[in-house]
Amino acid sequence: MAAGSDGFFGIRLESIGGLGAHLAGQLLAEAGVLLQGLNGAHFSSYGSEKKGSPVKSYVRFCAGEQDVRTSSPIGRPQVVAVFHEALAGDPNVIAGLGPDSTIIVNTTATAEKVWRRLGIGPARVGVVDAMGIAAQEGSRVNTAMLGAVVAACPFIDPAAVRETIRATFQRKYPHLVDANIRTFERARHELSVQAFHGEEAKGTAGATGAPAAYGYLEAPIGGTILNPGNSVLKDLTASRQGFIPIFQRDACVDCGLCDLVCPDFCLVWEEEPHESGRSFVRLRGIDYRYCKGCLKCIDACPTLALTEAREEEGYAAAHTVPLYSWIEGDGRPSKAVAEPVQANLGSRRNGSS
């Protein structure tokens, strides 16, 4: 076990609520401490307990004779596992990576492509299609990422982790035991790791780690919301769990049932003139920036105009229909455009048609 300068081997799981990172960290710690004689600790950090919110799960390991006297977040991890590809570009997710660290990303991209996208210096980059494996085996992403982490940590006995998975799921979900063990094994063998030694890509990660905490000169004003959730520029990409609705215009009858159940108003409608002289409101598409992948619209659609599909890289950006198409330049619409749009949004939220 190649521990850090503090004597601990640190593993940080970066995820969102609903993907099971907390359980994955718990299983990993139990396997190492209870079945392998290691000493260790596990805890998670998160805000509201809901799907899509950021989650960090920490696991520390050390030799059995060494005490664990810290419960602080792991700032310089030996392994970082990113459960959701969209999180990988966040400086806080990749902070603390050193030249001997390994970062594992749930993605279908190559290790080199991920490394260049991250913009980090020397590091080991691992890639695994955890979402694809979980979907094929009828399980979840967390046991796939757990298998990838075990593959990157040779001191962890896979048999101990398998036994822990079996014991944990057997208590409440015995019918899911075999699927999760298959998922674990597949990801463990399908993880691809490549070491990058060059410094062509430069970014925020590296030996310097996360930036220092605010001092009294740089601290923001208390109570200030720097990133409001109601911003028209809000991007909910990182809250999706791997699947998105796909819109087929030819099958749509513009009934509006999807709009009634959408919690984020990401469906884009537009008035179109008709030869009869009347105007009709038609569904143009989806603004994926606001879509968090809840898939409620699919359940409501009576014509299969909205169907479920796994999100592929670049699909959302290529097929999104801007909800606020009039936003450009300084972000302020002209009066002629703003007034009818605002009136329409107000009527939709008040329940009128």
My answer on whether 281 and 137 are in the same domain is: no
My answer on whether 29 and 169 are in the same domain is: yes
My answer on whether 187 and 243 are in the same domain is: no
List Cβ neighbours of 131 (8 Å cut-off, separation of 6 or more). Answer: 106, 141, 144, 242, 310
Whole-number pLDDT of residue 107: 93
Q: Is residue 219 part of a domain?
A: no
Q: Which two tokens stand for residue 172?
A: 């409440």
pTM as predicted: 0.76
Whole-number pLDDT of residue 191: 97
Specify the CATH number for the domain of residue 136: 3.40.920.10
My answer on whether 157 and 17 are in the same domain is: yes
pLDDT in tens, 66-117: 888 888 899 999 999 999 988 887 888 988 988 889 999 999 999 999 999 8
pLDDT in tens, 251-280: 999 999 999 999 988 999 998 887 777 888
Furthest-apart CA pair in the chain: how many Å? 84
Answer whether residue 142 shows pLDDT above 70: yes
Specify the CATH number for the domain of residue 335: 3.30.70.20
Q: Is residue 93 part of a domain?
A: yes
My answer on whether 272 and 177 are in the same domain is: no
Q: Is residue 51 part of a domain?
A: yes
My answer on whether 171 and 265 are in the same domain is: no
My answer on whether 13 and 113 are in the same domain is: yes
Quote the domain boundaries for residue 167. Answer: 9-196
Q: Is residue 205 part of a domain?
A: no
My answer on whether 246 and 188 are in the same domain is: no
My answer on whether 177 and 242 are in the same domain is: no
Q: What is the percentage of the chain residues whose pLDDT exceeds 90? A: 54
Answer whether residue 188 shows pLDDT above 70: yes
Domain count, the chain: 2
